[in-house]
Structure 1
């Protein structure tokens, strides 16, 4: 499976990429980078919602410069992994437990056979939420985990009781595959940099947008009702733990 390379974001050297299949039939794109000479183990990077392997090429270089092999996947429904809905821009997942299936498939088919131990996890946002669930389930594949802004909650009013209730009712009415109210197919991460709430770095923001401009099929738009509903369920689980 080819990785997308642009002048501002070339593919790091010594990469092997391809696809693996989960037990429930999802096809996941993976990439792994060989360890440098001063090997220290493998860092497995787990991305956030709407992200893809290409966004982390800089991180891959930094980790390999520090002596680590690196391995990654695109979550189901993102990047160049398989999409379940007819509209591929809809950010959809049936249940967050499906992402845990992605992690186990990745570990069993890529990490354990081909990546030197010890194994570490570096996860951002939605990826951090998934890894918290993996750890809570008692999985002990990783010696250490580092979570960047794990998605354990969202700002109000997005998580208000009326908002959660509306999503649940829409899903019960068979509308899980539609965009959340107000959502669109506009690619996440391609809005104007001005007044964005996520980063103060215009250079990296422009680079990430250029990746999607080069290959729009890597991106997704707004979440679906099903994704948002199961995300709220996961976040309620964190609060109850």
Structure 2
């Protein structure tokens, strides 16, 4: 774990953090990590998941930099140190996944001259929903390939979840945390967590939340659920057939948050996509124990070599 800790701290010290204003004057926080060698292999645009933030990905950033890439990463619209979208900063709200994609593109444009070489998207969970929508709509362009880690292309939940969320949004409760979900963030026992088998990485991420309460995010709002389901429903065979770039999808076999069946469906409808499953892994593949995390990176390394040649 010492090497992991060193890579984590080293990546944080080299991050160039900046803010980007979107068309609606809200800002998001982004960071650029340059490749320090002579010639980068290309550039990675890293889109994290729900409730995540740049610092959580320091180890991933270091791994990508070591692989020869410049990296851009963001705190998505409404979370991390980006502007929040409601009066309650702890409510996990999203007004539009399409707007989140526009904000992501604003960050890309802000450092476009430094994103040298071929550009590749790497996203996790909710970031996979945002980036797929942005690619399908043409919000982000000049991308040669996209890798998705446990993407949020379907949600695990009761069948009535969408109807309830839509009804509550219509009643003016869109920015309220959805019924039965936590109204505040609190540390989850490691034994019950659906994210990772790695106790040290799990404790590290909890420690970051505890040290910076403004990063904390509770359950998703009714509006978040409503917007998420609308966006997921828009991933139709007709739209997916238009995305002609190489696609990698890696699913976690012990998944409890996103619907792995949706990965199978979407991959079958994309022209140039491949799907791999990491046996026994939980949702956060890039935060898993070394043996499982290395399986993810093995799939990524093999795939990215074909994309870059």
Task: Name the residue aligned to 1:36.
Answer: 36
Q: What is the TM-score with the length of structure 1 in the denominator?
A: 0.89
Task: Name the residue aligned to 2:274.
Answer: none
- The equivalences for 1:1-241 within 5 A come to 9-10=8-9, 12=11, 13-37=13-37, 38-110=39-111, 112-138=112-138, 139-157=140-158, 160=159, 162-187=160-185, 190-238=187-235, 241=238
Contact preservation (8 Å) 2:45, 2:72 = yes
**Is the partner of 1:73 in helix, strand or coil?**
strand
For structure 2, which runs of at least 5 residues remain unmatched after alignment? 239-309
Quote the Cα distance in structure 1 between the aligned partners of 2:40 and 2:14: 14
**1:93-118, Cα deviation, whole Å (9 max, x unpaired):** 112111111122112112x1332222
Quote the Cα distance in structure 1 between the aligned partners of 2:57 and 2:200: 14
Quote the Cα distance in structure 2 between the aligned partners of 1:101 and 1:170: 26
For structure 1, which runs of at least 5 residues remain unmatched after alignment? 1-5
Structure with the higher fraction of residues in helix conformation: 2
Higher relative contact order (CA 8 A, sep 6+): 1
Q: What is the TM-score with the length of structure 2 in the denominator?
A: 0.71
Contact preservation (8 Å) 2:43, 2:70 = yes
Contact preservation (8 Å) 1:42, 1:116 = yes
* Higher mean C-alpha displacement, 63-72 vs 195-204: 195-204
Q: CA deviation at 1:73?
A: 1.0
**1:164-195, Cα deviation, whole Å (9 max, x unpaired):** 1111111011110111001233327x311112
Contact preservation (8 Å) 1:8, 1:207 = no
